[in-house]
Amino acid sequence: MAPPQVAQVECAEARRLLDEYSDALKAFHDARSLLRTISPADPRFSAATQARENAFEKLAAARRTYWAHVGEHSCRLVAVNRDPEETENRLREDMLQARREFQDAVTQSEEIIHMARDVRATADGQMAREMAQRMREKAYDRYAVALKRFSVFVRTGQFLDMPSDRR
């Protein structure tokens, strides 16, 4: 099964938001990779740390906006009821995507916790930690919903509409 592609998102607005989300994710990974090459003694370290925090905030905002849209609009579910095979593929893709997003959220929250402990144990650090924790919990909830929906569909052919989609 190929990973979901941007082209498979049919709503133009969701597609635009997913592009922004993907760009923000890439920028965050770049900022993180750069920071790893700089030692804390280096004068550029604090600017690189700040750049990563900024990239993380942008990523969190892009992710929130994307999920708020698809939750409101249900535009990832347009294929449902068109054809059972297509529906099963779509639900499987949603589940795999949610799993990847959960794994990303786990990695990010671990890094934030590590960063907050290492760099400064301030109120900012505490806030970043709580935000990362919330994102991780939400990502887990979405993964759990996607997994349940997929497995219910495979077993029964029924599409489960769950209120937690609206989060």
CB of 65 or CB of 133, closer to Zn ion: 65
Residue 5: CA count within 13 A, CB half-sphere: 4
Q: Which residues sit at the interface with Zn ion, rule CB under 5 A?
A: 11, 13-14, 73, 75
Least distance from Zn ion to the Cβ atom of residue 8, Å: 13
CA torsion, ordered 73, 76, 78, 82, to nearest 10 deg? -160
Under 8 Å CB-to-CB from 28, ≥6 apart: which residues? 52, 55, 56, 58, 59, 108
Which residue carries 């280096």 as its tokens?
42
Give the nearest distance from C-beta 11 to Zn ion in angstroms.
Answer: 3
Residue type, 53: E
Shortest gap between Cβ of 77 and Zn ion (angstroms)? 10
Nearer to Zn ion, 11 or 119 (CB): 11
Are 85 and 133 within 8 A, CB to CB?
Answer: no
Name which of 79 and 113 has its Cβ closer to Zn ion. Answer: 79
Burial tier of 10 (Cβ tally within 10 Å: 0-12, 13-18, 19+): exposed
To the nearest whole angstrom, how small is the minimum distance from the Cβ of residue 66 to Zn ion?
A: 10
In terms of CB distance, is 15 or 100 closer to Zn ion?
15
